[in-house]
């Protein structure tokens, strides 16, 4: 008995020291969001993809600008040469004949008309950049939703540790009182043993709550790009949103939801692809111009040297006449893809409205559950205080005391869970309506 009491007192000292040790590093939600934006690997990769797409969305990549190339060439030869001429001209036969040739040119090529395909390519590249930005935003929202969930799960774990510690303290106090009364003959050994069993059960529950706390902290740390050390705690204060209107959120979602915006951009891109496929059927007109210099020297022969320089230019017109039906097939495929994109956009619109309405129902239900759990926790507290007074006055059994104690612990845990679940449901509702980033203080322009 005495050895168990000593271990229990040591455990209570640990409970008292744990908040002090954990308080060395308190992580605010805003800090967690900033860390995730800076360190989460998926966000960093999506940010790079967005930068690549933006770099490709230029007039030059789309073929709207002319191309200018400079080239030069020099050759040298040393060889045996024999020249046989017509009668009257002596033949030439010599070894070690040296010939040199130097040339340089500056050329320009430009597509004057290709059925507006180059303009459509530029428009498509800009749409790709917009889609990459939306994919980045979607990745950020997904990550932040996970961060929020883990953050409040960790806050809930802190609360659970505190509740478990309080229940353990109550069991410790009960055990000590009954053991003292048993020493004076005022309590039976069975009551003391029952109290000891409950104390051990509450000690195990406390240790398990500490284990869940450490594991949740490690999960959040990895999501934030930190090593899983578990050596930090989070703020447990929350401010709930008020005045959320379902119809207004639905209207905002149809304008701001990232999935719907992505479906709309994909539809626009598919329509541009359809027009590009049709542009191949138009004639193509290309301009070629250049300036060149050629200097050639021959040691033997009729012409011993040539030198040329000057401008050259020309137009090339090509008209597609027959390609085995390739263009027609590509055009029809592009039309069907555009039709599918239109259907996907309509489906996304319906799904977004459904998701917002479902999220609103979940949020409203959680708020009502929170109100009920708060009332239940207050009632359980009052019931436990009265039961405790009657138990220590000898008017109730240890079983009745234990039941009131368990009811209090359960009510407090349910209140904590309801509070954090309500906050998570609120942020999920804002995510569905496209308002998550403003809610956590991140403007769209800061995603890059």
Indicate if the pLDDT at residue 195 is higher than 50: yes
d(CA 346, CA 267): 10
Distant-in-sequence, close-in-space partners of 258: CB < 8 Å, separation ≥ 6: 134, 137, 138, 141, 434
Confidence of residue 11 (pLDDT cuts 50, 70, 90): very low
Indicate the DSSP class of residue 441: T
3-state secondary structure of 70: strand
So what's the pLDDT on residue 440?
79
Length of the chain counted residue by residue? 448
443 C-beta neighbours (distance < 10 Å), count: 8
So what's the pLDDT on residue 190?
81
Q: Is 410 exposed, middle or buried (0-12, 13-18, 19+ CB in 10 A)?
A: middle
Indicate if the pLDDT at residue 106 is higher than 90: yes
216-241: per-residue pLDDT in tens?
888 888 888 877 665 677 887 888 88
So what's the pLDDT on residue 444?
65
368-386: per-residue pLDDT in tens?
999 999 999 999 999 999 9
What is the average pLDDT across 270-288? 93
What is the average pLDDT across 258-271? 95
Token pair of 323 as six digits: 């390609």
So what's the pLDDT on residue 21?
39
Domains of the chain, by residue range, sit at: 2-66+114-282+323-446
Indicate if the pLDDT at residue 448 is higher than 60: yes
DSSP codes of every residue in 111-125: EEESTTHHHHHHHHH
297-353: per-residue pLDDT in tens?
888 877 788 999 999 999 999 998 888 888 899 999 999 999 999 999 999 999 999
- Predicted TM-score (pTM) of the model is 0.79
Pair 340, 406: CB distance under 8 Å: no
Which residues in 76-111 are b (16+ Cβ under 10 Å) and which e? eeeeebeeeeeeeeeeeeeeebebeeebebebeeeb
d(CA 394, CA 399): 12
So what's the pLDDT on residue 329?
93
Which region among 23-32, 121-130, 286-295, 353-362 has the lowest average model confidence (pLDDT)? Answer: 23-32
How many C-alpha atoms does 33 have within 13 Å on its Cβ side? 20
Indicate if the pLDDT at residue 10 is higher than 70: no
So what's the pLDDT on residue 178?
80
So what's the pLDDT on residue 231?
65
As a whole number of Å, the end-to-end CA separation of the chain is 63
Pair 370, 408: CB distance under 8 Å: no
Domain covering 2-66+114-282+323-446 assigned CATH 1.20.1600.10 in the classification: yes
What mean pLDDT value characterizes the chain? 87
How many C-alpha atoms does 402 have within 13 Å on its Cβ side? 15
Token pair of 184 as six digits: 């004076």
């Amino acid at each position: 008995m005495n050895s168990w009491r000593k271990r229990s007192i040591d455990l209570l000292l640990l409970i008292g020291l744990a908040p002090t040790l954990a308080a060395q590093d308190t992580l605010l939600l805003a800090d967690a969001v900033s860390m995730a934006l800076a360190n989460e690997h998926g966000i960093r990769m999506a940010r790079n993809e967005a930068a690549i797409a933006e770099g490709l969305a230029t007039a030059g990549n789309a073929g709207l600008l002319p191309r200018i190339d400079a080239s030069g060439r020099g050759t040298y030869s040393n060889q045996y040469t024999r020249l046989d001429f017509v009668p009257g001209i002596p033949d030439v036969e010599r070894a070690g004949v040296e010939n040199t040739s130097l040339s340089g040119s500056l050329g320009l090529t430009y597509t004057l008309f290709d059925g507006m395909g180059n303009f459509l390519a530029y428009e498509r590249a800009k749409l790709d950049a917009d889609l990459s930005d939306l994919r980045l935003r979607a990745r950020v929202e997904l990550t932040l939703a996970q961060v929020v969930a883990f953050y409040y799960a960790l806050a809930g774990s802190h609360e659970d540790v505190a509740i478990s510690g309080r229940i353990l303290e109550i069991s410790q106090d009960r055990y000590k009182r009954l053991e003292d009364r048993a020493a004076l003959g005022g309590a039976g050994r069975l009551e003391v043993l029952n109290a000891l069993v409950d104390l051990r059960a509450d000690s195990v529950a406390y240790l398990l709550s500490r284990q869940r706390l450490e594991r949740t902290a490690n999960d959040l740390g990895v999501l934030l790009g930190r090593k899983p050390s578990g050596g930090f705690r989070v703020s447990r204060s929350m401010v709930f949103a008020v005045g959320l209107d379902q119809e207004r959120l639905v209207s905002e979602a149809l304008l701001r939801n990232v999935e719907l915006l992505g479906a709309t951009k994909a539809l626009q891109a598919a329509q541009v692809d359809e027009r590009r496929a049709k542009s191949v059927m138009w004639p193509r007109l290309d301009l070629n111009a250049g300036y060149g210099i050629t200097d050639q020297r021959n040691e033997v022969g009729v012409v011993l040297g040539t030198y040329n320089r000057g401008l050259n230019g020309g137009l090339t017109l090509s008209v597609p006449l027959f390609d085995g039906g390739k263009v027609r097939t590509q055009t029809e495929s592009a039309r069907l893809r555009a039709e599918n994109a239109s259907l996907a956009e309509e489906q996304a619109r319906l799904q977004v409205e459904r998701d917002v309405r479902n999220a609103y129902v979940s949020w409203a239900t959680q708020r009502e559950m929170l109100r009920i759990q708060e009332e239940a926790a207050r009632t359980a507290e009052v019931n436990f205080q009265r039961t405790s007074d009657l138990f220590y006055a000898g008017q109730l059994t240890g079983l009745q005391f234990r039941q009131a104690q368990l009811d209090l612990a359960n009510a407090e845990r349910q209140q904590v869970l309801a509070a954090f679940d309500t906050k998570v449901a609120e942020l999920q509702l804002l995510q569905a309506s496209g308002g998550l980033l403003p809610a956590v203080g991140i403007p769209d322009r800061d995603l890059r």
